[in-house]
Structure 1
Amino acid sequence: MSTHRWAAWTVAIILALSGFSPVPAGAQEPPPELRPVRIVVLVDESGSLSEEDIARERDAVRVIVQGEPSPKSTVSVIGFASADASGQSPIDPVCPPTTVDTPQKHQALADCVGKLRRRAGNEGDGTDHVTALRAALSHLNTPGSAEERKIVYLLSDGKLDVSGSPAYGDNPEARNAAARGALPGLLAELNQAKVSVWPLGFGQADLTQLNALATGASQDRCGARTSPPSATVITTSADLLRAIGAASRSARCAGVSDPATGELPAGGTLDLPLTVPAIASEGAFVVHKRDPRVVVAYRDPQGRTAPSHGTFGESRFEISGQGTEAEVLRIVNPEPGDWTVSLSAPPGVRPHNVSAVAIFQGAVRAVIGVVPPAPQPGATAQVTMQVRGSRGAVTNPAQLKGLTFLAELTGEGFGAQPAVELTDQDGDGQYTGGVAVPGSASGRLDFFGSVTGIGVSGDRRPFPTRIALGAAGISGALTLDGVDTEVTAGDALPGQAQVTNSTGQPRTLRIEVAEPSPGAAISAEPSRVDVPAAGARTHDFALRFAPGTALGPNQARLRLVDEANGTVAGELLISRVVVAEPSWFEKLWWLWVTLTIALVALLVGFLWQRRKQRSGRDVRGVSVELTRHGQSLDTLRAQITGERFGFVLRDEPGLGMSLGHNGSGDRYTVRRGAGGLTLTGPAGDRLTLGPGGRHELRDGLELVLHDRSATRAEPQPPVAPRYDPYS
């Protein structure tokens, strides 16, 4: 067996024994999904609540069970009161544990909630919070549920009353005290099981007793400290949606909008605005319409009405609860932006308050890289993390704001290490930080990258490797030119692979693209690097984004792999926004700009020349004077702009000769030309006259032309009259 093959088998065996299972180059993982939760709703059916209070509880339960965004979550509804006599049970299992993965199951939950009722005195109408919470704990602590987030909604007035329950002792007066004494231990069990209890108060609620039932387990799971559970008294639909939103934020890290509320008029309509964040991958609009007859429509940011079921664009829709007080539209891959929820009340529905809330979450995956991939003991490894959502890479820093990125290290030869928070110094959506490898590290290393925060379903991703033993071997580094994150589909980016070989034997390494985001078609050209037996080499390559690459953010992991044994000598996480190839019009934009500028220049020149010509022919400043033997009889000035000035020589009985713009008499016209002023007489004859030029009429009468504008521009001597017959 050759040395190379022996080395390959040795590395393969070591990696297999260590549990290292790299994702094959080019393999694409399925898109991330929302983490499911387990929910138990406890509903007080005791006699201390009125029939109206119970109806409002049913209303609230429908909102809760319909509003869960993950289709893999499990929901249970349990009514409770007390057991005051033989044959009675404090627990009323109204809705068994149901996975909400189909519209039919959502509807079944909405229907079974109708079984909740106010108990009569002969049924056990006390309030046994202890037994109710124990029932919830048993529903939540099932095999395989250790890592699931667990929520209990406790709907009650908070007034514990087991005075009629023999289970708490023979003395009725001591029974309530016994039940209260059992609560601290039970709440500790709930905390130990990481169960969050959220009390919702109905009727004449006792806030003090309700707050005593709240548990704040698992409040650090969202990367930032969230508000612990506390009691909320429900008096309006907005109170209910706000309380559900607080629980969703804290217990399942969901992004929840503030409730949009308003008064729906009788027979009228009302629009409620809701916003879907850009990172959201799944979620729901929960509409508390309070009357089943109210009709709801949902319009996306483009103003299009969303379907109640099926696929529209890139989104998938499913509606439930249309025939109940609470209606929910679930959306997978929702269109981000400002939505409108339109409610319409048919005739006969009285005016009432309605509310809507958006509960959305981004299913994200952490993509982690480590340089060098096999660090030495005592070295500092550079950890880089990116985020991948259900639609692909997420690179916009605004969409990642508020999230927490951590890198952790475990391994052989050392104990627990503090987590390192990664930061995005360049604002490019890549979070980096240095993680120190302890000097005592002796074998396997496991780097973990995690992303958590409100609005995302967090992820913790491993990067298994081993320490580098000794200085001999192959090390490498990959770089990609350009800081711009945008690349055109079909284009390539230049890069370099720098390799140092200390093995004493020539090696061939390949540049492979691993774990590309969905739709990414990326390859390195050329992909092989031949390295001499000793020394270093810099290899230029091009990272090509094929024409069919999905538009938008794309991610991948570049690896520099030794073909002799499969060792990863260097690694680089890349993220680029791929844009469409420009059209021929866009490619020749410079030509169109040049032509446009030239056309504008020609047009401006033409208009200027035309204006200059028209200005040169304008008769403004021209006047005509009538004289007899040198004595002025009358003067008339051009009153309007234009290319000609017309006037009439009038001979009126008793008034003599005069000039006028209109009237009867001999009509004359003055025009301006290149040679001066042209006077056209009644017979059509033309005379070209300079300023001060005279045209003799008869009996010593003369018409004298004056041109004030020509005189101002350039004084000229009078030009002798010249007769020019009209032709």
Structure 2
Amino acid sequence: MLAAALLALAPLPGRATAAPAQDPTPSATASPGAGAGPDATSAASAIGPVNYAVVVDESGSLQPADLAREKDAALRIALGDVSPASTVTVLGFASADNASEHVVDEVCPPTALDAASRDRLGDCVGQLRGRRQDEGWDTDFPNALSQAVNLLSTGTDPQTPRVLFLLTDGQLDVSHSTLYGDEAHRAQAGQDALVRELAAAKGARVQVWPLGFGSDVNQGELDLMAASGYQNGCVDLPDARPRATTVPDSAAVGGALQTAFAAAHCLRSTPGDSGHPPVDLQVRISPLATVGSIVVDKGDPQVTATYTDPAGHQITGTGEAFGSRFELAGRNQPVESLRITDPVPGLWRVHLDAPPDHRGQLASVSVLWHGELRGSITLDPPSPRAGRPTVVTLRLQTREGFGITDPQDLQLLGVTAQLTGDGFAPVPVRLADDGLAPDAAARDAAFTGTVTVTAAATGRLTVSGTLTATGLTAGNLSEGTLVAPPVVLVTAALTAAGGSAHTSDHLTGALSVHNGDSVPHTLRVQVRDIADGLLTPSPAQLVLAPGESRTLSAGFTVAGRAAFGRQLDGGRARLGGKIVVLDSTDHDRVLAEPQLALTVTPRPGFLARYRWYLLAGAVLLLALTVAIVAQRRLAARRRDAAGLPLVLLDDTGAELTTQRAKSGEHGWFEFDVQDAHTATPRIVRRTGGSYRVQRHPDGGARLAGPGIATTRLQVGFPVQLATNLHLALGSEQRRPTAPGPGPTADYNDLL
């Protein structure tokens, strides 16, 4: 059944050629298992560092609970950052009413987010405090911005993004600060200073992300701060540009700041469950994630967290296990995090527990993550003609080349594309995944559109795609091809059947090729846009003689279970990518490139593969056993002597007595003749008696005794006993039985 499971290769319209084709309990410091995917270090290094400051309002309007939530929010993003090369600074601010006071408390100087520093962050963040009135408790935004921008831009790499998060429950107020001149002009002086500091932030390439909470914030003022700082985000997408956020109270500050941090750092933020300990909370990590941090806002340092991955493995600390790398930080702080490189996708469980008197705080779990994708671009026809339309399909896949199937992940995706080439200006290509022609199906991660190649096109064409989603990056979003010649001399068509296979399967299809040229052409068959070795074509190369046309078997071998690693832990994996037939003789011109959609499942074991045969055999054996037992029981009933009328006769044939036989061992009735030499002899049943009688399958009975070889006893044919008496078989009303085994040979042959 080699061809019963391969590529769902939907033909593309208008194409000249047909379109085909773990270790259960290791410790958390164990080495990663085989098949963990791309190297963990490369996954982490793909996330660039960020140099950021968290500026926290300490003004007099803050309540102690508000300040506690601000501290937790600062810890959430510092511990949740997925890049160990990032640097965080934490400042508290209020105002200075005179020259002896200071506006800003530098509670955490610029701190690199390596493992050791992350564990110490709680200590310095804990120094944030509520100001007393005699310390200055108004809201001096300009001085807070000035010091934060200075720390972010002095002695730091200008290529590293600089981001400032401002948390406040109020608005600009310097009415008591002599730093802004006389009382009558302080409000305007404060506004002018804010504009200057925002311009300085823009000049220093510092983004400003304000977060306001409570009823006294000024949304317009926060919007001004966001719009006046540096605007270029981690990517050129609207979601990554600075914006102001307001929430009703401090309880929502942590989640809002984490969302803003994710946007500024090109991460995704996924909320999970919340509850009071003891409780199990869940949060989902996407299959697209290559690095992420599970952030647990415990609210109380006495709360303990235990992490379990979707496969049931418990993560006990920093180290490597199950194909992932872990770093735990903040265990004795109100917020802790588990940073994971190459995380196992699915629902993670975080069990929270606490002493009875430390269970009052509502705890929550979330995850900050970044994902890497790859793309697979096909054109139909693969070498379009100038002035003709071509259908472009860009399929997004995981970085290992597996399909994206979860609706939660699909809704994150979006792409744009353009066609470039010699002889014309770039042409935008509108791509959609809406199921409307030419798109084959909605929400399947395959974005399709049509573009007309300009008549001026010559030589090489390139389709380039761009992923329009923050928190995700994609490689291989470019495909080159050649403008088709006026007459196509060499063609190829690849067909295959099915859409599923087991690991180690060998799948077959048909490759039809034609060479209308006067010289030989060398063709190559390749599988592209999936991890190397997962699907191997055969033949990989063939040579066509001039004028030759033929159809040959095309084989594809699926890799063994080990090559897929944990991709098959969920029971199946969907391979994406494409099969490409190239003409090496003609500058690697693409002759066919059908997309590949193959669902791979682990090869079942012996019992699973042959269970129906084994079940059928078991049923047959059971039926045969039942038939044999029934046959034996029937035969035993047919031999049983019970009910046989035994008649004793004298020498003259006169009847002396009659006795009905009883059932005995193996159907034999054993007896003696008592008072044989009297006028009243009797047949007496006796185990081990001198005589015994048993039914004969063909009627009558068998008789054995002293001086008598086993002989046939029939009605009307008495047999002489040793006592000079005769034994005859009387007539009986025979009980119904099943038919016998058929005609019987001579009696002596049956003995």
The verdict on a shared fold, with TM-score over 0.5 as the criterion, is: yes
Equivalent in the alignment of 2:304: 295
**Contact 2:223/2:244 (8 A) holds in 1:** no
In 2: Cα distance, 1:558 partner to 1:528 partner: 15
Q: How does 1:228-377 map to 2 (within 5 A)?
A: 229-236=244-251, 239-247=252-260, 250-251=263-264, 254-264=267-277, 269-346=278-355, 349=358, 351-377=360-386
Partner Cα separation in structure 2 for residue 86 and residue 501 of structure 1: 91
What is the correspondence of 1:181-196 to structure 2 with a 5 Å cutoff? 195=207
Which of 100, 107, 110 pairs up with 2:119? 107
Rate the CA distance shift 1:383–1:75 in 2: closer, same or farther, 3 A.
Answer: farther
Superposed counterparts of 1:533-682, under 5 Å: 540-547=553-560, 550-551=563-564, 552-564=573-585, 566-570=587-591, 572=593, 573-602=595-624
Pick closer, same or farther for the CA change 1:307–1:214 going to 2, 3 Å.
farther
Q: CA deviation at 1:43?
A: 1.1
Deviation at 1:322, TM superposition (A): 0.9
Partner of 2:54: 41
Aligned position for 1:57: 70
| Aligned match of 2:676 | none
Q: Distance in 2 between matches of 1:351 and 1:256?
A: 26
SS at match of 1:368: strand
- Match for residue 419 of structure 1? 430
Q: Hey, what's the Cα distance between the residues in 1 that align with 2:151 and 2:390?
A: 45
Q: Please give the residue correspondences for 1:105-504 in structure 2 after superposition, counting only pairs within 5 Å.
A: 105-119=117-131, 125-133=137-145, 152-165=164-177, 168=180, 170-180=181-191, 195=207, 197-201=209-213, 205-206=216-217, 208=219, 212=223, 215=226, 229-236=244-251, 239-247=252-260, 250-251=263-264, 254-264=267-277, 269-346=278-355, 349=358, 351-389=360-398, 392-396=401-405, 398=407, 400-411=409-420, 413-422=424-433, 425-426=440-441, 430-442=446-458, 445-453=461-469, 457-459=472-474, 461-463=476-478, 465=480, 467-468=482-483, 470-471=485-486, 476-477=491-492, 479-496=494-511, 498=513, 501=516, 504=518
**Maintained 8 Å contact 2:583/2:589:** yes
Q: Name which of structure 1's ranges 321-330 and 592-601 shifts more when overlaid on structure 2.
A: 592-601
CA gap 1:263/1:555 in 2 versus in 1, 3 angstroms: closer
Q: What is the CA RMSD across the aligned residues, in angstroms?
A: 5.0
Cα offset, 1:549, TM superposition: 6.7
1:54–1:117 Cα contact (<8 Å) kept: yes
Shift of 1:328: 0.9
C-alpha deviations, 1:117-144, integer Å up to 9, x for none?
4456676543222344456567778998
The CA distance in 2 between the partners of 1:500 and 1:167, in whole Å, is 86
Deviations 1:680-725 (A, max 9, x none): xxxxxxxxxxxxxxxxxxxxxxxxxxx9xx99x9xxxxxxxxxxxx
1:78, 1:95 within 8 Å by CA — same for their partners in 2? yes
Say if 1:333 and 1:391, in contact at 8 Å, map to a contact too. Answer: no
- State the shift of 1:595 in Å: 0.2
Gaps of 5+ in 1: 1-27, 617-673, 676-706, 714-727
> Partners in 1 of 2:183 and 2:485 — Cα distance?
77
Would the alpha carbon gap of residues 356 and 486 (structure 1) be closer, same or farther in structure 2, given more than 3 Å must change?
A: same
Residues of 2 paired with 1:593 and 1:330: CA distance?
49
Shift of 1:291: 2.1
Partner of 1:529: 543
Q: What is the CA–CA distance in structure 2 between the aligned matches of 1:144 and 1:476, rounded to whole Å?
A: 54
What are the equivalent positions in structure 2 for 1:690-701 lying under 5 Å apart?
Answer: none
Residue 511 of structure 1: which of 525, 530, 534 is its match?
Answer: 525
Query: How far apart are 1:321 and its partner, in Å?
Result: 0.6
Residues 612 and 159 of structure 1: is their aligned pair in 2 closer, same or farther, counting only changes over 3 Å?
farther
**Residues 1:29 and 1:273: Cα distance change in structure 2 (over 3 Å):** closer
Change (3 A) 1:185 1:384: farther
Return the alpha-carbon distance in structure 2 between the equivalents of residues 379 and 96 of structure 1: 61
Contact 1:521 1:549 in 2 (8 A): no
Closer, same or farther: CA 545–271 of 1 in aligned 2, 3 Å: closer
Q: C-alpha separation between the residues in 2 aligned to 1:528 and 1:298?
A: 54
Q: State the AA in 2 paired with 1:479.
A: L
Q: 1:80 to 1:232 in 2, by over 3 A?
A: same
Number of equivalenced pairs: 595
Contact 2:467/2:474 (<8 A) preserved: yes
Q: Which moved more, 1:350-359 or 1:177-186?
A: 177-186
Distance 1:440 1:390, change over 3 A: closer
For 1:250 and 1:606, how far apart are their aligned partners in 2? Answer: 77
Cα shift readout 1:181-228 (whole Å, capped 9, x = no counterpart):
6667977998997946240427x7536467546748779977999997
| TM-score for the superposition, normalised by structure 1 | 0.67
Distance 1:342 1:531, change over 3 A: same
Amino acid at match of 1:458: T
Aligned counterparts of 1:601 and 1:64: Cα–Cα separation in 2 = 69
Deviation for aligned residue 1:367? 3.1
TM-score, length-normalised on structure 2?
0.65
- Which digits, 9 at most, give the CA deviation of each residue in 1:251-301, with x for residues without a partner? 55655444523233xxxx333233334443332222122222222212233
